[in-house]
């Protein structure tokens, strides 16, 4: 490791760690200030609808039209002009661009706001709303309009087998081997805007803490039930606290 290329968390007096690999986990709180609802906050998605009717494979097979309607609405909402990346997304894009080491961005979000902010490499562990997947042949393709029970797969030409490319409860999240590889390399793990209530993502902090060298930071609007697992926490809107945190990491702000 070349010292001039090593980053530090500048304001940790007794724990100035050499950091090369940063793993970031984002959740719905990062996109909340862009106008997208979170899931479990007051007024969140799961307070308005029953997740068991909409976000499980059983629900899809029982009533695909109802599940399509739910995701069609959210897909359309995501593409409305007022939904734009906010300063939190932009800060993470800046971090991935300017950090001399590796920044692995893992998101639980199904929106495309990290990409629109200019982050080229994003791992979408719960899938992507603007894609469809064929249950028959496995094709994954961009999908911007509504899906229906008669949508036709362009590859296998079967009808009614296309579904939103998202991960429902009881399904295995995507790209877990890549994520756990990155966690094994991590020097710093940062969890942003997630309630930490959905596994396996909720277990990442415990997983990396078993590696004593990994420093764990939580950024959220307010303390969560798992906050005690983190070495450092900062609370406030992601659009404010995340740009400041990235400034500190990139050394633009001297130790306070």
Query: Which residues bind to ligand BJW, rule: CB under 6 A?
Result: 27-29, 32-33, 38-41, 44, 55, 108, 110, 126, 166-173, 176, 193-195, 197-200, 220-222, 224, 237-238
Which residue's CB is nearer to ligand BJW, number 162 or number 187? Answer: 162
Q: 143: how many CB neighbours lie within 10 A of its CB?
A: 20
Closest residue to ligand BJW: CB criterion? 29
Smallest separation, CB 129 to ligand BJW (Å): 7
Smallest separation, CB 1 to ligand BJW (Å): 32
Smallest separation, CB 254 to ligand BJW (Å): 25
Smallest separation, CB 19 to ligand BJW (Å): 23
Which residue's CB is nearer to ligand BJW, number 21 or number 224? Answer: 224
Biggest CA-to-CA distance, the chain: 61
Point out the catalytic residue in the list 68, 89, 114, 126: 126
Which residue's CB is nearer to ligand BJW, number 187 or number 233? Answer: 233
Which residue's CB is nearer to ligand BJW, number 7 or number 127? Answer: 127
| Residue 124 appears among annotated catalytic residues | no
Residues acting as catalytic residues: 126
């Amino acid at each position: 490791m070349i010292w001039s290329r090593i980053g530090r968390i500048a304001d940790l007096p007794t724990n100035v760690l050499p950091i090369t690999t940063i793993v970031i986990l984002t959740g719905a709180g990062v996109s909340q200030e862009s106008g997208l609802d979170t899931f479990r906050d007051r007024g969140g998605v799961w307070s308005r609808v029953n997740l068991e009717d909409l976000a499980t494979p059983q629900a899809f097979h029982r009533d695909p039209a109802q599940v399509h309607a739910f995701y069609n609405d959210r897909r359309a909402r995501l593409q409305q002009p007022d939904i734009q990346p906010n300063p939190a997304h932009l800060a993470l894009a800046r971090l991935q661009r300017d950090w001399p080491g590796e920044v692995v961005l893992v998101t639980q979000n199904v929106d495309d706001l990290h990409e629109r902010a200019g982050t080229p490499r994003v791992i979408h562990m719960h899938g992507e709303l603007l894609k469809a997947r064929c249950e028959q042949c496995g094709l994954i393709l961009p999908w911007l309009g509504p899906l229906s029970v008669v949508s036709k797969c362009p590859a296998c030409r079967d009808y009614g087998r296309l579904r939103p490319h998202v991960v429902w409860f009881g399904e295995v999240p995507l790209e877990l081997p890549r994520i756990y590889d990155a966690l094994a390399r991590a020097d710093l793990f940062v969890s942003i805007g997630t309630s930490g209530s959905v596994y396996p993502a909720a277990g990442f902090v415990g997983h990396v803490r078993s590696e004593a060298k990994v420093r764990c930071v939580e950024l959220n609007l307010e303390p969560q039930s798992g906050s005690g697992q983190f070495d450092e926490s900062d609370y406030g809107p992601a659009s404010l606290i995340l740009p400041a945190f990235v400034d500190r990491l990139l050394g633009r702000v001297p130790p306070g």
